[in-house]
């Protein structure tokens, strides 16, 4: 391994559990100074204990622009400029379009897509100035293929894929690499309906996604991995 992220500053949203937690732990193992962001301080502190002294906890609701702004202002003031941003916060609410609640639509779009937009926008000026940085957005296989009763969820994840692809083209001239990861069925328990009827032992694990993020951030500087689609070896 010739590329190192030791002492780089990495912010991970959704770091309290599931995929975000696994990614934060993996980045901590690589020597990064990891800033953990999610709504639950209790969950974040548990993740921080696993990582050790290099982890910092800043409770953040990615649905709130002001929370995200405060997060990155605190990081810049107390720790330094962000080198790696992993947008892993997300949730799933499923159901047919007819009868889908307005408030659930807003929650999905604000969490899964709008939060990624603002988080990325807050870190980009510093990255552009320094001519380097990684932004890794966690989408889903649902961002590639639609399915019944998941129209709004799929729309949010399709949005993440399109946003990341376009962002990558905007910022690559500045030495910034934007990547999107699209995992298939993952055993995160982030939504009661996600694993319904599926064999959990065959699902992807959060650590599998973390391994992919490890590969992305350790990529040699002359290239970048723009998109990775992950599937379980056997269908759950």
- Marked catalytic residue, from 118, 122, 153, 158: 153
> How is the beta sheet containing 176-183 ordered, strand by strand?
55-57, 33-37, 9-13, 84-87, 133-138, 176-183, 227-230
- Alpha carbon 185 to its chain centroid, in Å, reads 16
Query: Cα separation of 105 and 94, whole Å?
Result: 10
Q: What is the pLDDT of residues 30-56, one digit of tens each?
A: 999 999 999 999 999 999 999 999 999
CATH number for the domain formed by residue range(s) 9-230 = 3.40.50.720
Are 36 and 206 in contact by the 8 Å Cβ rule? The answer is no
Pairing of strands 9-13, 33-37: parallel
Q: What is the pLDDT of residues 126-151, one digit of tens each?
A: 999 999 999 999 999 999 999 999 99
Whose structure tokens read 């990861």?
Answer: 181
DSSP state of 110: I
113 a catalytic residue: no
């Amino acid at each position: 391994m010739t590329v190192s992220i030791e002492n780089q500053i990495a912010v991970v949203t959704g770091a309290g559990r599931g995929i975000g937690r696994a990614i934060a732990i993996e980045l901590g193992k690589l020597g990064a100074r990891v800033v953990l962001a999610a709504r639950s301080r209790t969950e974040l502190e548990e993740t921080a204990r696993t990582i050790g002294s290099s982890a910092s906890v800043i409770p953040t609701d990615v649905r709130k622009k002001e929370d995200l702004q405060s997060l990155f202002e605190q990081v810049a003031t107390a720790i330094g400029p962000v080198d790696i941003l992993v947008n892993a916060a997300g949730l799933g609410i499923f159901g047919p379009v007819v009868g889908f609640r307005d408030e659930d639509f807003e929650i999905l779009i604000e969490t899964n897509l709008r939060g990624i937009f603002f988080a990325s926008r807050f870190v980009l000026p510093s990255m552009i100035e320094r001519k380097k940085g990684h932004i890794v957005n966690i989408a889903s296989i649902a961002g590639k293929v639609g399915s019944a009763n998941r129209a709004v969820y799929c729309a949010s994840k399709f949005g993440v894929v399109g946003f990341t692809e376009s962002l990558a083209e905007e910022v690559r001239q500045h030495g910034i690499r934007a990547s999107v990861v699209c995992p298939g069925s993952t055993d995160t328990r982030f939504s009661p309906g996600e694993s319904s009827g599926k064999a959990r032992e065959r699902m992807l694990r959060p650590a599998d996604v973390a391994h992919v993020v490890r590969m992305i951030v350790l990529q040699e500087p002359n290239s970048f991995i723009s998109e990775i689609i992950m599937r379980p070896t056997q269908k759950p």
